[in-house]
Chains A and B, each alone.
Chain A
Amino acid sequence: MTILTETKDGPLVLTPDQIEELGKALDELRARVVADLGDRDREYIYSIIKAQRGFEIAGRGLMYLGFLPPVWLAAVGALSVSKILDNMEIGHNVMHGQYDWMREPDLNSREFEWDTVCPAEQWRHSHNYMHHTFTNIHNKDRDIGYGILRMDESQQWNPLRLGQPLYAFALMMLFEWGVMGHDLEVENIVRGRRSWGEIKKLVKGQWRKAGKQVLKDYLIFPALTGPLFASTLAGNVTANLVRNVWAYSIIFCGHFPTGVQTFTEEETAEETRGEWYVRQMLGSANISGSRLFHIMSGNLSHQIEHHLFPDLPANRYPEMAPEVRALCEKYGLPYNTGPLSKQVASVWWKICKLALPPSLVSSESAPSVIVMRQQKATEVGV
């Protein structure tokens, strides 16, 4: 099997041998990191947890002085940081099984719950399994547009798509609820592909989890500040919003900027391990930034490395990145990265552009890489 990729500078051919070689190099990189896991990684994740708990306690405490505007802002800031750390560098990564090797019951992927309305169990299915196994494969990876948005030219256009920027904005503001609803596959129910019965259990779990979150943030903590109920409520709502906007932005930058590839089921049938790696690299994009920025993004700024090695501790991605990048260069594969501003702009540009009927938009910005596969290289004379 051959992967034929076409770049801006012309077609690029990777022979099966090269793909195999690339796969081996990545396997070796993985093995080296796995062999080195130890105290350092343990200390890292616990230091993040400590920081998260600190910000949370500070945020909740400062709400008692929320009648002073600067203190209210500080409270919201601290609580937002806490929620972002909880969801991204801790929750997302722990639930990927990245710290399962520590055999710490509190950091076990099966046991962990995070500070959002989406039950961990459902997220593990929609994300760890569906998205990470079938990354960017049409009709399989539901993260392409989350069943709401048209994020790829090969998705059909219809007049309802005109409202897409609005839907995207709403999704951004309500992101945790969107993530929660993801596993329900509501659009498949509307289309009659999924029965209501199937989702009963899911809804029950969501009700239980979301109920507790809502009770805590919107009732109990505000009530505990007595006369400041409204101010604390507003603070908690804002912190959840900040987290939503941030998480949405980081996550959309991982797969939707210009240059990221999508695939069809036929293309990816019978994939080898090497080809799986190539798909992960072509299907994700990084964000460049400072160390603090990487931590706040849960190292999803290293989306490429994350997709290659979803079960390795995220704090290792920055040190693996140069090697992954060098491999991309060696084989002529793109390594899609850029500052947050550039990646975010690129995502919103795509959202707006794909809202319009294809006849109105030139496809001048077609993907810079085209992946084609043939059963046998010789048949097409490669």
Chain B
Amino acid sequence: MVDLVDMVQTLTTPHPLDRYLELIRPTLTARRLRAEVTHVRRSTPGSVTLTLRPTRQWRGHTAGQYIQIGVVIDGVRHTRCYSPVNPEGRREKHIQLTIKSHTGGLVSQHLYQHAAPGMVVDLEPAAGTFALPETRPERILLISGGSGITPVLSMLRTLAGEGYQGELTFLYYAKSPVLVPHRAELDAIAQAHNNFRIELRYPGRHAADELEPVTIRSCTEISGAGYFDYDELERVAPWFAEAQTFVCGPQALMDAVRKVYEAEQLGDRLHTEEFTLNFAPVDDTDVHGTVSFSASGVSAANSGTTLLEQAEAAGLSPEYGCRMGICFSCTAVRRTGCTRNVRTGETNSDPDQPIQLCINAPVGDVEIDV
């Protein structure tokens, strides 16, 4: 198959075959992975659930992994990572994403407002090590909060789907019941599996008459109680020391869980997925942070000058030409962090973006592929 594509590509050289095929249909590709949105559902306020049909190169995902999608907004392609919420499975031919629209989240807001069936997005293969072990542990504890539910929900659904017989607790923190995504599904799972315990927490919600646990349908809901702590853990999963625990959620929740597990010396049984939102720092006037040149393993304190000058000061010799932003010889990939274009003053912090070293200065910590 690959050889055939290579042969046809001799005819389309220097352009890849996909550059012709996509003119017929964007999802008709020989090499490039893409996906078409087939269903859009907005049942929870502020979030949207998309069903994607990937092109045939899709190899599926493992519950807990994330994918990267690329969406065009105002002419610019933006890429973001999301964890599929659907169960894993070799024959799984679609991807389900639940995306919460964050204030200031360009892509999430765009998808929340404009996603419609027929929309085509770029797709990268599933990645990430946050995943269930192949041989399922006998006890599993899943903890999540807010939009951190997505990888954990995929795990829950996978286990439900394969008729997991062990003991499982799923603990989820939300601001209010209406903000729990896939609520009906959670109920159905809880109902169908006696060995699954699904508990929903609304810590910030004042509901004096609801202080006692209320079991509606099958999930247990508690309003007004505290955030995660040792007692809570003891209560919902007294066996947690023998379990494998998977956590994904806001920083505060992750820290709270980590603290308890470290105190109990159970760090190796705790699996976490970092859940960070990258926003450009508001204040870019003072110079701080570290610039790491990842390809050469060198790092130095940010001196405030352009990345090209800082790389040279650190003893590196990246390729350059004009040193004034016109020739693009100095382009390198910014892995993480925020940089400021010294010509326009604009800041940007999208990960894995090629930038011109000679006209960009780091704002805080930056990792650049030099």
Give A residues with C-beta under 8 Å from B: 31, 34, 37-42, 49-50, 53, 57, 96-97, 100-104, 106, 108-110, 113-115, 120, 124-125, 128-130, 132-133, 209, 212-213, 215-216, 220-221, 276, 310-311
Contact = CB atoms under 8 A, between A and B. Distances in A.
Contacts of A101: 75-76
A215 B10 contact: yes
A213 B354 contact: no
A52 to B, nearest CB: 10
Contacts, number: 91
A102 B72 CA distance: 8
B78 interface: yes
A31 B343 CA distance: 9
Contacts of B325: 311
Given A53-B23, A212-B13, A216-B11, A40 B329 contact: no
B329 A124 contact: yes
Nearest to B330: A129
Contact of A114 (B14, B78, B331): B14
Q: Name the prevailing secondary structure of the A interface residues.
A: helix
Q: Find the residue from B16, B23, B75, B326 having the highest chain A CB count within 10 A.
A: B75
A104 B18 CA distance: 14
Interface residues of B, number: 29
A6 to B, nearest CB: 28
Contact of A113 (B14, B79, B353, B356): B14
Nearest to B333: A110
A154 B354 CA distance: 41
B80 to A, nearest CB: 12
B344 interface: yes
Interface in B42-92: 72, 74-79
B216 to A, nearest CB: 46
B295 interface: no
B75 A39 contact: yes
Nearest to A313: B75
A247 B19 CA distance: 24
Interface string B328-366: 110100000000000010000000011010000000000
Contacts of A221: 11
Contacts of A109: 328, 331
B13 A128 contact: no
11 contacts: A34-B344, A37-B75, A53-B20, A97-B356, A115-B14, A128-B328, A128-B329, A133-B326, A212-B14, A310-B326, A311-B325
B326 A216 contact: no
B321 A103 contact: no
Given A103-B78, A213-B13, 16 more contacts: A31-B344, A39-B74, A42-B72, A49-B19, A101-B75, A102-B75, A103-B76, A104-B77, A110-B354, A125-B321, A128-B326, A129-B322, A132-B326, A133-B327, A215-B10, A311-B325
Contacts of A310: 326
Contacts of A50: 23
Nearest to B20: A53
A96 B74 contact: no
B348 to A, nearest CB: 10
A310 B327 CA distance: 8
Contact of A129 (B14, B15, B79, B327): B327
Contact of A132 (B16, B327, B354): B327
